[in-house]
Amino acid sequence: MNRLPLQQIVVLGATGSIGTSTLDVIARHPERFGLFALTAQVRHERMYEHCLRFAPRYAVLVDPAAADELRRRLGNAGSDTEVLCGAEALVEVASHPEVDTVMAAIVGAAGLLPTLAAVNAGKRILLANKEALVLAGGLFMQAARASGAQLLPIDSEHNAVFQSLPANYAGDPEASGVKRIMLTASGGPFRETPVDVLETVTPEQACAHPNWVMGRKISVDSASMMNKGLELIEAHWLFGVPAERIDVVVHPQSVIHSMVEYVDGSVLAQLGNPDMRTPIAHALGYPERLAAGVQSLDLFAIARLTFERPDFIRFPCLALAYAALREGGAAAAVLNAANEEAVGAFLSERLGFRRIADVIEATLERVGYLPVDTLDAVMDADRRARELARAEITTRQNR
């Protein structure tokens, strides 16, 4: 089959913040990129707007009712976009032979299967779904090596590390003289909030990030620093660096996005305004550089950059992530599943903010060590952890 003239892109999670920023960058370079498919869970209104503007060949909605509504509206508008439905359709478009690049931006465990399908098909993967590596890092990286898929990280921290490593880095820190990775963290909205006050914070307060505009789930993860914990696990798999050589550095200005220290004492860092279009443009154009519409960094206006050690008493979720990475097996998958359930309960005001970590810790203890050598084992661990986490949440509600 002849390849299409433009680089064909699939955006998994097109209605979220990463998906929307990706479309903004793509719109700036119509001579380079074509949209093969856009996907979302249920937000048919936003998808309708995207389809009219970008005219993808396919639009996928997982929810059947939302897909029917989008199909009706696009038909009435005379659009040629074909609407597909269901999780199987996500896998179909992500692995389609005419697709070059897949932006993997579905939040949570739901993004694992279509992202892995794209990896198995040997695509260029722009990886914004950290859960794919958190749940099944070993299997994921093994599949990428086998298929020849290229993984380019989109999280601002991992993209910064990628840019600060040697161009020929092959996952061996010793061979490249890498001493440690420093992942920066803003500290979120509760960096200076008294710990006892955290018992009563609301979802609205937790979602009010000082620097980044994000979805509600990832905003809560940032407030608890679980987001940094998941990024710690992701960095381990992406760059082949053990937990004891990955440090988290609280950097409230969010200007330095991460750093790499070398054995000769050099520290390389990537700086920029907190705008996700920068790492997205970097990955879309790699190894070239593309204009992203991002405002230039004004160091004189910033004037001062500060750094702090993370407070594990204030942020127990980060400590749990370190522990899960060191334990290995299914611990990271259990951590992620329990966190998703606990965050959902917090956002629906069924669980207090400080209880998120308690639910995760209790779930990890009840599951114990589980090996994960197949994808089925990963998904079984995910399901078991969710059941136990829900039970733990119910128990705490009834106290």
Predicted pLDDT at 216: 86
Share above pLDDT 70 across residues of the chain, in percent, rounded to a whole number = 97
Q: Is 240 left (phi over 0), alpha (psi -120 to 50) or beta?
A: left
Predicted pLDDT at 209: 73
Predicted pLDDT at 325: 96
Q: Mean pLDDT over residues 138-149, rounded?
A: 95
Give residue-wise pLDDT tens across range 78-135.
999 999 999 999 999 999 999 999 999 998 778 889 999 999 999 999 999 888 899 9
Predicted pLDDT at 1: 41
Res. 360 pLDDT band, cuts 50 70 90? very high
- Interstrand relation of 256-262 and 246-250 (parallel, antiparallel or unpaired): unpaired
Is residue 14 within 8 A of residue 38, CB to CB? The reply is yes
What residue ranges define each of the domains in the chain, with the CATH number in brackets?
7-153 (3.40.50.720), 154-277+294-323 (no CATH), 328-392 (1.10.1740.10)
Is residue 120 within 8 A of residue 147, CB to CB? The reply is yes
pLDDT over 50 at 196, yes or no = yes
Q: Which residue type, as a one-letter code, is found at position 90?
A: L
Predicted pLDDT at 108: 75
Sign of CA dihedral 186, 189, 192, 195: negative
Give residue-wise pLDDT tens across range 56-76.
999 999 999 999 999 999 999
Token pair 């899960």 in the structure block, residue: 324
What span, in angstroms and rounded, lies between the C-alpha atoms of 73 and 71? 6
Give residue-wise pLDDT tens across range 28-39.
999 999 999 999
Token pair 């060590």 in the structure block, residue: 369
Give residue-wise pLDDT tens across range 279-294.
999 999 999 999 999 9
What span, in angstroms and rounded, lies between the C-alpha atoms of 247 and 307? 12
What span, in angstroms and rounded, lies between the C-alpha atoms of 207 and 64? 29
Nearest to 109 by CA among 318, 335, 355: 335
Give residue-wise pLDDT tens across range 216-260.
888 999 999 999 999 999 999 999 999 999 999 999 999 999 999
Is residue 102 within 8 A of residue 91, CB to CB? The reply is no
Q: Mean pLDDT over residues 370-395, rounded?
A: 94
pLDDT over 90 at 159, yes or no = yes
Report helix, strand or coil for 18. Answer: helix
CB atoms within 10 A of CB 194: 9
Please state at what angle helix 331-347 crosses helix 226-239, rounded to 10 degrees. Answer: 150
pLDDT over 90 at 354, yes or no = yes
pLDDT over 80 at 213, yes or no = no
Compute the CA torsion angle 119, 106, 57, 288 (nearest 10 deg): -60
Predicted pLDDT at 398: 67
Q: Mean pLDDT over residues 19-44, rounded?
A: 96
Res. 142 pLDDT band, cuts 50 70 90? very high
Q: Mean pLDDT over residues 202-223, rounded?
A: 84
pLDDT over 80 at 3, yes or no = no
Predicted pLDDT at 332: 96
Predicted pLDDT at 211: 67
Tell me the average pLDDT of the chain: 94
Is residue 241 within 8 A of residue 261, CB to CB? The reply is no
Predicted pLDDT at 212: 65
